[in-house]
A and B are shown apart, each in its own frame.
Chain A
Amino acid sequence: MTTTLQPAVTLPHLEDYTAIVGQPEIAELRTFAKPLAGRTLTMVNSTAVGGGVAEILNRLMPLLNETGLQARWEVMTGDGRFFAVTKAMHNALHGAPFLAPPDAFDVFLAANEQNRKRIVLDSEFTVIHDPQPAALIAAREKDHGYWIWRCHIDLSHADKTVWDFLRPWVERYDKALFSAPAFTQRLLIPQILFYPTIDPLADKNRELDPRFVESVLARFQIDPARPILTQISRFDRLKDPVGVIQAFRMVRRYHDCQLVLAGGGASDDPEGAEVLAEVMHAANEDPDIHVLELPPTSHLEINALQRGSTIIIQKSLREGFGLTVSEALWKKKPVVASAVGGIPSQVLHKITGVLTQSVEGTAYQLRFLLSNPEFARRLGENGHEHVKENFLITHNVKRYLLLFLRALNKA
């Protein structure tokens, strides 16, 4: 089969979302935007490509501009030492030990200072994403503008040394935004719930021609006639791919099915390559276990794999928000996922999916859903509605507008 599909080259407009969220949502969004027309907004993060934040901003900034805001996206720069420090800080804020040289915080502050001099930060609204550029708040002139810190990571188990350093910077902002209530720390400033969102019109999520889905399955020699269980994630131990294989083997005693483990991260990450080797070893050349290492641009293929699957698994041991779950729910797929990180916000147990805590539990729930396809279908339908109500990019646009409106009203 040779069906091909080209990636979308133009970004969608607000109007394009009408068919998905309905005319009232878009009309009201425009109503909220009216008082903000011409106001200036700058968002800053630490990378232009790769990673969930860059992906969100790539899609979000054009939409915010379309509402009438003058929105600008800046990316901070830094050398290898700075990014090594911020990676160590990132891991420590997730709860790992802080492994960094003694001058780590000096390196961090020096890079922030350089960026403060380089980036013009005089907008009425400034949104700083994640810890890397957090000290840019030093650029704020007394009482000028409204500054927001958007934290995309789970701070609930933050290393004390790193958090004690970061916290005074964070508390100079007007508000902090978190992806889930459980991710927060006690702060002197208000903390707002900001779910991350997916773009239903992006290549990763948009509707696909069923013939393209079939062609992708054929390309990877996956049999469309038998149930397909799929986990999409980097080859990372925290995603527990070997645990997924163990669960699959328990399920296969009762159901003739296949497993797909698809993701990236093995070619540019030494640990990823190690994990991939462990996965291949565990798969033991089983023809029904398809381990697919895909390049980071494989959005359409991942979309097709999800759409072609019977059940999607996300058996992470730890997780950030875990937006791949929303991607699967959006495609009306029944999901079996671990109750970690932001997953319980997306998977309401036995309502929009199934939550599990172990290999055995995952296997049992997979068997249950394979034996009860009508129940599985209902979970998928509910999951789609849940994502539509909470986790679409139009909600993200609206939340930012509401945030800025509140700031204006208080000024």
Chain B
Amino acid sequence: MNNVIQHGGPFQFVAASYLVEIRHERARNLYELLLHLRAVPEASVFFHTFQSMEAHHYTSFSNDFAQWVHSECNDVRLAERLGAVDLTSFPTIAEVREALTALIEDHVEQDPYAGARPAAEPFHYCTLETVTAPLDLTATSVAELAAGIRAISHQTLHHHFISSRLRPRLMVNDFSVWLQSIGLGELADEINRIDFFTNTLEGVRQELLRDLAPYEVGNA
């Protein structure tokens, strides 16, 4: 969320969506993937990892790099390792980039032939332009927060629950920040532990609602 939550003030839902910008960098093999991965802006790394999670809910892997390495390079071992990089455990994009590059470096060091082997189709680096606008939707209680969570799109849910964690060294989602501000620290922690890495956004929504449900009456 772009605005800072005032202590005890209402939670403001923000509609969020994005445009995908196609960058010039294209990788035709693992060496080129690595070369560009070291240099592209953080927004591009974010797009291919955190943002693209919503597009991968029925694929085998949770990020674009793993998916491409699997489907276009036919390199299952590396794809598995890249796909297992747990995005929930990194507080910054720089660290995500570091983890991904380290895995690819290690892989091509062990198997230099794999690094130069041509992919079936190139990897196109992209980035995103996020657009946000305040919704006519606020919450002053847990019940209203739950109602709001039911009424927002997947992209907006992604914005509040996943993108928001990447504010520098925060690792906390917007809902937990607000719950903390109204004195519900325990619930805030519980919600922040929801595993968005292996879940769909709809699954995340349902878990959020389940966690909020016991508090709705007392805080309505």
Contact = CB atoms under 8 A, between A and B. Distances in A.
A34 interface: yes
A355 B163 CA distance: 33
B133 A35 contact: yes
A193 B64 CA distance: 16
Interface residues of B, number: 29
A403 B19 contact: yes
B121 A31 contact: no
Interface stretch (A109-117, A163-171, A180-188): A180-188
A191 B22 contact: yes
Nearest to A187: B24
A317 B155 CA distance: 35
A contact residues, range: 35 or more
Interface in B2-47: 15, 17-22, 24
Contacts of A386: 58
Interface stretch (B124-132, B138-146, B168-176): B124-132
B89 interface: no
Interface string B44-55: 000000000011
A184 B22 contact: yes
B131 A24 contact: no
B17 A28 contact: yes
A166 B77 CA distance: 44
Contacts of B122: 182
Nearest to B24: A186
B71 A181 contact: no
A402 B19 contact: yes
Given A28-B152, A178-B22, A385 B58 contact: yes
Contact of A402 (B18, B54, B135, B154): B18
A27 interface: yes
9 contacts: A23-B151, A24-B153, A28-B153, A31-B135, A193-B20, A339-B121, A389-B54, A398-B17, A405-B133
Interface of A: 22-25, 27-28, 31-32, 34-35, 178, 181-182, 184, 186, 190-193, 339, 344, 348-349, 351-352, 382, 385-386, 389, 398-399, 402-403, 405-406, 409
